[in-house]
Structure 1
Amino acid sequence: MKYYIIAGERSGDLHAANLMKELKIQDPAAEFRCWGGDMMQAAGGDLVRHYKEMAFMGFLEAAANTFKIVQFLRQCKADILAYRPDVIILVDYAGFNLRIAKFAKEQGLKVFYYISPKIWAWNQGRVHTIKKLVDRMFVILPFEEEFYGKFDYKVDYIGNPIVDTVRNHQPGSDFIQRNQLSNKPIVAVLPGSRKQEIESILFIMLSVLPAFRDYQFVVAAVSNLNQSYYENFNRDANIKIVYDQTYDLLANAQAALVTSGTATLETALFNVPQVVCYTTSLISYWIGRAVIKVPYISLVNLIAGKPVVTELIQNELTGRNIITELKKILTNEHFIQQQKAGYQEIREKLGEANSAAKAAELMVKYLQNPISADVKG
């Protein structure tokens, strides 16, 4: 069968690539055309456009790039028509992907959604659009099945793929030597993978170095951004930058400063105490405050249903506050153990995953038996 897969960011590239590998097992004749990244291409996808060209963060940033997004949509639609896939698989990335879903249904194409957009956090009315446009939804957070159930929409909970990627990771024993790190304890700094995130947050994260001279701060960088770009932030001997080694970094870290997103859950599954940091443009922040319907921004706290990790958001993200919270997770044993106990509760909620394999098996079954795929509630 022919699969057209669209992912709009780095984490989506990873999860889509793992799904593609499992689809090949279930469907040895599978062919893939995709919008995504290097990992999807390495998994056998014919890459149309790289996600780094489409990584717009926040309401204001997306609005400023409206013309470019419209161009991408036109290209994507034309490419889908030329390819005529058996199914379009959308991976998160709601703003773009829901427009493609509408187009696909108009063309009579089957639409699967792998990793639900976070409509439970804001614009919950989109669930009605999803019910009309998406043939099957595959969700990765425990509470999402219940959320969709309230709208009489049956989804498949397949476990969380991050559980698989963390469990399967084999840490390199030479991480310290390979990256010429010192023997000082490591504070991992995870600023995200998009320029808008990094430029807003990384300088603030690293401003606290003078208060932690007994530690080395190691920044998790991504190779799809130019190395010279990161060097703008490398203004202290206690700062080290490593590329595409986030999991090895977390396996060696004593604590972490983490931009809100998938990385907060990854850090929790590595059992590393963390402070969650987030800031965006003022306009995007106030729009977000008006529409967001959940009490937390980190996946850790959302899954736990309570504040397991401290979230420093917008005006709260200051050097002084980072120092206060980072000292707690480095030196306050009671606070550290309390956070790790919360992590254990999250592991129990997530359970065993094998999510890509489960999703691939279900997808092929639904494609081979369309009647079962049409039963949504």
Structure 2
Amino acid sequence: MSRPLRVALVAGEASGDILGAGLMQAIKARHPNAEFIGVGGPRMEAEGMKSYFPMERLAVMGLVEVLGRLFELLGRRRQLARDLIAVQPDLFIGIDAPDFNLDLEHRLRRAGIRTVHYVSPSVWAWRQKRVLKIREACDLMLTLFPFEAQFYEAHQVPVRFVGHPLADVIPLEADRTAARRTLDLPVNEPVIALLPGSRGGEVARLGELFLEAAARIRALRPGIRFLLPCATPERRQQLEQMLAGRDLPLTLYDGCSHEVLAACDAVLIASGTATLEALLYKRPMVVAYRVAPMTYRILKRLVKSPYISLPNLLAERMLVPELIQEAATPDALAQALVPLIDGGQIQTEGFDVIHRALRRNASQSAAEAVLGLVERLR
């Protein structure tokens, strides 16, 4: 090459930041001088990403909630398209965030830039006609799960199932005792992890609910303690305000979500990527979620899948309890979670089967796929 490989990436939230960092590492193994531009979080920046603006500006939850930030998001996307077209990277990789990235990919592809989308949107569950836009927007789709690749193959979209990077790095059997020592926790006391989400909107809707559920769990199971990893300093501040005046044996951690999952006995968790992490750590869980009422009414009409959580989608059955909207009450969450503290074997056995199926050296597989695309073109 006459100049170093230049790759543009855009990630919209913490899970995308993890995927992007792993992919960047794998690309650098073959192209040590590669340059990375676009939008990423702290992990991607640590790998050399030059981020045009904070990734947090793209983290918006729900359909109705987006409206309050719509003009900002549209403006950022227009400016980012102009910047990237001017720079002409060898490749653009949109990581998740489909509502932002697919339109951006379409514009860039029309300008002659090859595009990859990493992490499939849920086209198999709702808005299936989006597959037509995806076929126009990207040269290659990288999927984390096998059922997604089958859907794209059926619709003539170039696709590669790469597995999930977390399935590669998380051991098949996590050491709970070692994790508790790392976090300075008693080895034998029951511990519950609370994961109300990484976005401000999620924590606003689920934080108080999870804390109230924790109080009910403590009443049913005295002597229990709670751990809550905070995705960012902003989320920690948000949760500290919710904790004010509460008498809960709860410890907040800055990050440390994997250590917390390894250390706990069971998890109360928001639907999202974190449920996959809990699955890979083989920790029994109860999944909860709330969105704005109007968003929920819209989604209820559109969504075709019988499940909302990744463990159930991957298992193709109701493996973990899902409590959504009005069903997600403190009492209901507590009643569902307490039996899992000492039980949950059916869940964990199912989790092990899924974990083994997803271990495919994902970051390396993804890097080989995208670099193969670049090298064929060059």
Question: When the two structures are superposed, what TM-score results if normalisation uses the length of structure 1?
Answer: 0.92
Alignment RMSD (CA, Å): 2.0
Q: For 1:30-63, what per-residue CA distance to the aligned partner results, in whole angstroms no more than 9, with x for missing partners?
A: 1110201111100011111121122110000112
Q: Which residue of 1 aligns with 2:370?
A: 363
Q: Which of 302, 326, 329 matches 1:291?
A: 302
1:83 corresponding residue in structure 2: 87
Aligned pairs for 1:6-85 (under 5 A) are: 6-85=10-89
Q: Partners of 2:125 and 2:94 in 1: how far apart?
A: 19
Change (3 A) 1:112 1:79: same
SS in 2 for 1:293: coil
Q: Shift of residue 91 of structure 1? A: 0.4
Aligned partner letter, 2:109: K
Is 2:212 aligned against 1:207? yes
Which structure 2 segments of 5+ residues have no match?
none
1:72 shift after superposition: 0.9
Q: Where does residue 327 of structure 1 map in the other structure?
A: 338
**Cα distance, 1:304–1:178 mapped onto 2, change above 3 Å:** closer
Q: CA deviation at 1:224?
A: 4.2
Mapped to 1, the partners of 2:217 and 2:201 lie a distance apart of 26
Counterpart of 2:352 in structure 1: which amino acid?
Q
Alpha carbons 1:220, 1:245 under 8 Å: kept? yes
**1:242 is matched with which residue?**
253
Unmatched 5+ stretches in structure 1:
372-377
TM-score (norm 2): 0.92
Give the percent of matched residue pairs that are identical in Structure 1 and Structure 2.
31
* Match for residue 338 of structure 1 among 342, 346, 349: 346
Structure 1 position 221 matched with structure 2 position 253: no
Q: C-alpha distance in 2, partners of 1:340/1:154? A: 34
Query: Which residue matches 1:122?
Result: 126
Q: 1:7: how far off? A: 0.4
| Matches of 1:169 and 1:36, distance apart in 2 | 31
CA distance in 2, matches of 1:127, 1:74: 23
Moved more, 217-226 or 304-313: 217-226
1:282, distance to aligned residue in structure 2 (A): 0.2
Q: Deviations over 1:122-172 (max 9, x none)?
A: 211010111112101111111011111221223101111220232399979
Partners of 2:259 and 2:271 in 1: CA distance? 19
Name which of 158, 167, 180 aligns with 2:171. Answer: 167
Which amino acid in structure 1 is aligned with residue 236 of structure 2? Q
Matching of residue 276 in structure 1 with residue 276 in structure 2:
no
Which whole-Å CA distance do the structure 2 matches of 1:76 and 1:153 have between them?
A: 26
Q: 1:353 corresponds to which residue?
A: 360
Match of 1:187 in 2: 192
Letter in 2 for 1:349: A
Give 1:297 deviation, angstroms. 0.7
Q: Which amino acid aligns with 1:48?
A: Y
Tell me the CA shift for residue 22 of structure 1.
0.5
Q: Which amino acid aligns with 2:348?
A: K
Task: Give the stretch that moved more between structures: 196-205 or 177-186.
Answer: 177-186
2:331 and 2:176 mapped to 1: Cα distance? 34
CA contact (8 A) 1:219 1:242 kept: yes
Number of equivalenced pairs: 367
Report the secondary structure of 1:360's partner residue: helix
- Inter-partner Cα distance in structure 1 for 2:284 and 2:175: 18
Aligned-residue offset at 1:5: 0.3
Q: CA deviation at 1:180?
A: 5.9
Which residue number in structure 2 is paired with residue 139 of structure 1?
143
How far apart are residue 287 of structure 1 and its match? 0.9
Cα displacement string for residues 312-357 of structure 1 (whole angstroms, at most 9, x for unaligned residues): 11111011211210122124x3xx111122212312432x221011
Q: How far apart are the structure 2 equivalents of 1:51 and 1:171?
A: 33
Q: Deviations over 1:202-238 (max 9, x none)?
A: 2111112144232111112122425332211222231
Opposite residue 266 of structure 1, the aligned amino acid is E
Counterpart in the other structure of 1:374: none
- CA distance in structure 2 between the partners assigned to 1:275 and 1:226 by the alignment: 21
Relative to structure 2, which stretch is displaced further, 64-73 or 246-255?
A: 64-73
Separation in 1 of the partners of 2:167 and 2:323? 25
Q: Secondary structure at the match of 1:241?
A: strand
Letter in 1 for 2:210: M
Change in 2 beyond 3 A, CA 1:174/1:144: closer
Amino acid at match of 2:270: T
Aligned to 1:375: none
Contact 2:172–2:355 (Cα < 8 Å) also in 1: no
CA contact (8 A) 2:7 2:36 kept: yes
Q: Equivalent residue of 1:276, what SS? A: strand
